[in-house]
Amino acid sequence: MKRLAIVLALVAGCSAPAEPAFNAADVMFLQMMIPHHEQGIQMAKIAEERAARPEVKALASAIRATQSDEAKTMTTRLTRWEQPMEAPPGSHDAHGGLHETRPSDILSLEKAPAGQFDTNFLNLLTGHQHNAVDMARTEVKTGLDAATKDLAKRIEESRKAQIQEMLRLLAAPRR
Amino acid sequence: MRKTILSIVTALAAVASTLVVLTGPAQAHGYISSPPSRQANCAQGRVANCGPIIYEPQSVEGPKGQRNCHGGLSQFAQLSDESKPWPATSVGQNVTFNWVLTARHATSTWEYYIGNTRVAVFNDGGRQPGATVSHNVNLGGFSGRQRLLAIWNIADTPMAFYSCVDLQIGGGGGNPQPTPTPTVTPRPPSPTPTVTPPPAGGTWRTGTYYATGSTVTYGGATYRCLQAHTSLAGWEPPNVPALWARV
């Protein structure tokens, strides 16, 4: 596949020298990551309003800001590649389904009792970011476009660090 | 020409998506986050030299009916290594266990064991779990340092997920403490983030709280913090324009 994609890129190069070289894994990564980011942003926004601990609030704000930027980068890239924002229905079933954060999960976060909010948020977002790490690792292994693989590497690294921070917050006594 | 190439790309995309599915991430699913399980302590970096579990604490999946911490998986055998310095969380007789889930499988039961005693079981009757899962468990009079084993039994597969939690149970038998809030025992030196902002113009580093407006140097350039945050790997100033502006 990789070789075919490179050949294609070379062929494309004849008519459009600046045509970027990318493959289906790059496209799928972006198509899956954009909605995944949007869900993360939704959760973070709720936490910015509702979190009790200031450090949880600060983490949520930073996650909202950085993921909004990344989502813009990814959307711009898919547009430049003239690829659809969404994959054909059903093509992600093997990834999605059980592994998705459901709309009902976000709704139940919104409705979580005040005393439970921070714990629920941290557990929900930790699970969500574990899934981001999995998708990013797949892209690093199977993607072609250098910029997208770099983004995936940074996503893998920053989500792992966020998971560590959230596990620390979950284990640490409340002040 | 361009259209032809695009249609070839699309056709290849269909083929490749199958490949991506086949080589996709390991199916991974859940663990106890607090009080921290052994895999949570490994993933957090609180316990060193844990092996590959640090990348996927949610993946301790093995056939049902086991009574070990690693689900019988050789690559995660360190989770059952009692010689490792597992930190124990101080708790009373009633403890709330919180789970991180990355896939919401239909569930038969959640079981909690200390030794051979099943101290609690929660029957979900084959339902999918909610957004988050937590259980309040009475530890049945056990006291002192104990290793609790939690098992998440999946309804529609022969598999289960295993999490061991090390506890220091106070309060004595039949004398439950009023607060189920776990507290953490003092831990060995670890990369605890500092909350003191570094002097202006210091070198950027991880685990540091940066206030809006503070400045750092990174890779020979100076950056100003746009939004207060605790820094972490992957959030190096040039990589996150939402958090840092070059000055």
What confidence score (pLDDT) does residue A69 get?
96
Lowest mean pLDDT among A161-165, B131-135, B185-189: B185-189
- At a CB cut-off of 8 Å and minimum separation 6, what does A63 contact? A40, A41, A44, A125, A162
**Does residue B191 belong to any structural domain of this protein?**
no
What pLDDT, in 10s, does the model give residues A74-99? 999 999 999 999 887 766 555 555 67
Q: Which residues of A touch B183 (CB under 8 A)?
A: 173
What pLDDT, in 10s, does the model give residues B5-63? 444 444 444 444 444 333 334 466 999 999 999 999 999 999 999 999 999 999 999 99
**Does residue B42 belong to any structural domain of this protein?**
yes
Pick the more confident residue, A145 or B183.
A145
Q: Domain tally for chain A?
A: 1
User: Does residue B246 have a pLDDT over 80?
Assistant: yes
CA separation for the pair B178, A41 (Å, rounded): 37
Q: Are residues B149 and B57 both part of a single domain?
A: yes
> What are the helix and strand counts (H, E) for chain A?
6, 0
Q: Are residues B111 and B37 both part of a single domain?
A: yes
Domain termination residue (choose one: B169, B198, B221): B169
CATH number of A118's domain: 1.20.1260.10
Band (A173; pLDDT cuts 50, 70, 90): low
Lowest mean pLDDT among A16-25, A46-55, B174-183: B174-183
Q: Which residues of B touch A53 (CB under 8 A)?
A: none
What confidence score (pLDDT) does residue A88 get?
77
Average model confidence (pLDDT) across chain A? 87
Can you read off the two tokens belonging to residue B12? 């290849």
| Residue A77: domain span | 20-84+99-171
User: Does residue A68 have a pLDDT over 80?
Assistant: yes
Contact residues, B window 148-177, toward A, CB-based 8 Å cutoff: none
Q: Are residues B147 and B221 both part of a single domain?
A: no
User: Does residue B3 have a pLDDT over 80?
Assistant: no
Nearest chain A alpha carbon to B90: A173
**Does residue A9 belong to any structural domain of this protein?**
no
What pLDDT, in 10s, does the model give residues A111-137? 999 999 999 999 999 999 999 999 999
In angstroms, the separation between the Cα of residue A66 and the nearest Cα of chain B is: 6
Alpha helices in B23-77 (DSSP H): 38-44
**Does residue A11 belong to any structural domain of this protein?**
no
CA separation for the pair B17, B13 (Å, rounded): 6
- Backbone φ and ψ for B109, nearest 5 degrees, come out as -140, 160
Nearest chain A alpha carbon to B104: A98
User: Does residue A171 have a pLDDT over 80?
Assistant: yes
Domain termination residue (choose one: B139, B169, B199): B169
DSSP states of A128-146 as a string? HHHHHHHHHHHHHHH---H
| Residue B224: domain span | 208-246
**Does residue A133 belong to any structural domain of this protein?**
yes
**Does residue B195 belong to any structural domain of this protein?**
no
CATH number of B96's domain: 2.70.50.50
Band (A71; pLDDT cuts 50, 70, 90): very high
CB pair distance less than 8 Å for B12 and A5: yes
What does the angle CA A70 – CA A76 – CA A80 come to, to the nearest 5 degrees? 145
Q: Are residues B74 and B154 both part of a single domain?
A: yes
**Does residue B118 belong to any structural domain of this protein?**
yes
Q: Are residues B111 and B215 both part of a single domain?
A: no
Q: Are residues B159 and B212 both part of a single domain?
A: no
Domain termination residue (choose one: B141, B169, B197): B169
In angstroms, the separation between the Cα of residue A51 and the nearest Cα of chain B is: 15
pTM of the shown model: 0.83
Q: Are residues B132 and B231 both part of a single domain?
A: no
Q: Domain tally for chain B?
A: 2
- What's the number of CA atoms in the CB half-sphere (13 Å) around residue B206? 14
What share of chain A in percent tops pLDDT 70? Answer: 82
Band (B77; pLDDT cuts 50, 70, 90): very high
Contact residues, A window 76-135, toward B, CB-based 8 Å cutoff: 82, 87, 91, 94-95, 98-99, 102, 104-106, 108-109, 119-120, 122-124, 126-127, 130-131, 133-135
Q: Are residues B157 and B236 both part of a single domain?
A: no
What confidence score (pLDDT) does residue A44 get?
98
Band (A19; pLDDT cuts 50, 70, 90): low
**Does residue B150 belong to any structural domain of this protein?**
yes
**Does residue A15 belong to any structural domain of this protein?**
no
Q: In the predicted model, what is the mean pLDDT of residues B206-234?
A: 95
**Does residue B103 belong to any structural domain of this protein?**
yes
User: Does residue A2 have a pLDDT over 70?
Assistant: no
What confidence score (pLDDT) does residue B107 get?
96
Interface test with B, best of A29, A131, A153, A167 (most B CBs within 10 A): A167
Q: Are the beta carbons of B127 and B120 closer than 8 angstroms? A: no
Contact residues, A window 55-74, toward B, CB-based 8 Å cutoff: 55, 58-59, 61-62, 65-66, 68-69
Alpha helices in chain B (DSSP H): 2-22, 38-44
Nearest to B9 among A8, A28, A65 (CB): A8
Q: Are residues B63 and B138 both part of a single domain?
A: yes
CATH number of B239's domain: 2.10.10.20
Nearest to A167 among B6, B43, B234 (CB): B43
Q: Are residues B161 and B226 both part of a single domain?
A: no
Q: Are residues B82 and B159 both part of a single domain?
A: yes
What confidence score (pLDDT) does residue A11 get?
46
